[in-house]
Amino acid sequence: MERLTGKRAIVSGAASGIGRATAELFAAEGAAVIAFDLDEGRGALVVEGIRQRGGHAHLVVGDVTRTADCHRAVITAVEEFGGLDILVNAAGITVRATVVDLSEEDWDRVMAVNAKSVFLLSREAVPVMEVGGEGAIVNVSSGWGLKGGPRAVAYCASKAAVANMTRAMAIDHGPHGIRVNCVCPGDTATPMLLEEARQLGEPEARFLAGAADRPLGRVGSPTEIADAILYLASDRASFVTGAALVVDGGGIA
């Protein structure tokens, strides 16, 4: 049985990686999906693929760090689908550097895409969910939002912000029937993981071998993270809010 039949969802960062896997899974589970991403070309491919498989999806091209674009994504959900039940804040970037080596511009960019976007999209989505009397927000944090990591000060700070924003939002909006949770993935086989190897100047094979150094002996797949997001967004998690679900193959353990 489809777990999201009748639900309306926005997924940011839907053109690739975890966001793409989530948008595709949500559509397969019966949701109508707004795919929100800055990359029009790859976003269009995701939406077309969903439609070819019989799903319902609409592309909104925009920047998650801009208020006007976030507003447009939510308004499009209302206009196209009649409302909004689920928001997944999956857009994210990383810049691998220490606090000494990191530029102010890169700090601002990482914090804007990873943390400010959660604020901006949630600010637009919550009032619409309140009208419906319920909703689910799932934020994508990171294992490094719960512990530190080397040469990743901005990324760690931004993802820690997402984890604690999740708790604060769960407190504020629970009385309105809105659940807010986050997933904390470990290293996952996405384009961003390969971008980290490039930034650090490491051969991909050596970098990926290091990323797989965890109890399960491998990195995760985007679909495995999407499955966790699906659980938190679905009615099967009806009594779960303010939680940080670690999906990292035992890395933190």
User: What CATH number should be reported for the domain holding residue 176?
Assistant: 3.40.50.720
Q: Is residue 251 part of a domain?
A: no
Q: Is residue 165 part of a domain?
A: yes
Domain of 215, in residue numbers: 8-245
What pLDDT is recorded for position 2? 85
Averages of pLDDT over runs of 10 residues in the chain (253 residues) are 92 98 98 98 98 98 98 98 98 97 98 98 98 97 97 98 98 98 97 93 92 96 98 98 98 95
Q: Is residue 203 part of a domain?
A: yes
What is the C-alpha to C-alpha distance for residues 197 and 99, in angstroms, rounded to an integer?
19
Q: Is residue 76 part of a domain?
A: yes
Q: Is residue 133 part of a domain?
A: yes
Please enumerate in sequence order all residues whose Cβ is within 8 A of that of 141, keeping only pairs 6 or more positions apart, or say none.
Answer: 159, 160, 162, 163, 166, 182, 183, 184, 244
Active site residue: 26, 36, 81, 155, which one? Answer: 155
Global pTM reads 0.97
Q: Domain total for the chain?
A: 1
In the residue annotation, 231 being an active-site residue is answered as: no
Q: Is residue 253 part of a domain?
A: no
